[in-house]
Amino acid sequence: MRNLKLTICYEGSDFAGWQVQPKQRTIQSEIEKALLEIEEKPVRIYGSGRTDAGVHALGQVASFELENRIPLKNLQKALNCLLPPAIRILDVSEVGPDFHARHSAVAKTYEYRWRRDEVCPPFERRGVWHHPYPLDEAGMIKAAPLFEGERDFRSLATNNGEDVLSTVRTIFSSRLERVGPRLIYRVRGSGFLYNMVRNIVGTLLEVGRGNLSADSIPWVLEARDRSAAGPTAPAVGLFLVDVEYPDQW
């Protein structure tokens, strides 16, 4: 039995997120369906974390055990033949038995993309939030680093009915920049609560609209109250960029 690690890229518009759900088309279910054909029995895969419906990934990671001795490169080719074009396996590697895509992760990076000009090119519509309306971008850029540090991010966590032992997380970097016609927000952290990145983006948007000041971000976090922060931004502009693991993996 081998413990294998997948690096996965997907365009999430047509899927109900990562996690298997009854009667829903998800990233996890599509990969498990492909592995069923290869292994000839069910294979459960474990992702580094769940992405919501419509969220994309440039470097999602999953791990699973496989009895089939198919060479890794051939396994990658077979999976890409069996999977829909919106899901691609970028890499397959064998890892030690203690590796787990979720529990072994030490950091994740997400990116959120706005399209700011008046017209959004149709080939970008599934990967950016088109927002051509006036915003105080300088205020948003100033506010972005104020989310950094080890903090209680309860104000930025959407309650999805699950019990969370702690809402404390560490944000290593949080930056917003204008790149041509796009605003790009990039955040790297030890982990993220449910909808946390999209709620940060919604809070930055409230700064841009003038409903919050950059200086009020510490107050938003200290409130530990979801109503103190901005709305949840749409999933369309969110990408899971990278998942990091200790050097041993």
Last residue of a domain, which of 75, 95, 115?
95
- pLDDT given for residue 149 in this prediction: 97
With respect to residue 249, please indicate whether it lies within any of the assigned structural domains. no
Q: Which of 74, 95, 116 is the last residue of a domain?
A: 95
* Entry pTM: 0.95
52 flagged as catalytic: yes
Among the listed residues 14, 52, 152, 215, the single catalytic one is 52
Q: What pLDDT is attached to residue 160?
A: 66
Whole-angstrom distance, CA of residue 236 vs CA of residue 233:
9
207: its two tokens:
């700064």
The predicted structure's pLDDT at residue 159: 81
- Evaluate whether 135 touches 209 at the Cβ level (below 8 Å): yes
Q: What dihedral angle (degrees, nearest 10) is formed by the CA atoms of 241, 244, 247, 249?
A: -90
pLDDT on residue 69: 95
Across the chain, which has 249 residues, the per-10-residue mean pLDDT values are: 97 96 95 97 96 96 97 98 98 96 97 97 95 97 98 90 82 98 98 95 98 96 96 97 89
How many Å separate Cα 186 from the centre of its chain? Answer: 11
220 within some domain? yes
Domain membership of residue 34 (yes or no) is yes
Residue that terminates a domain, selected from 95, 117, 132: 95
> Does 80 lie in the same domain as 111?
no
Q: Does a structural domain hold residue 115?
A: yes
Per-residue pLDDT at 147: 98
Q: What are phi and psi of 161, to 5 degrees?
A: 85, 0
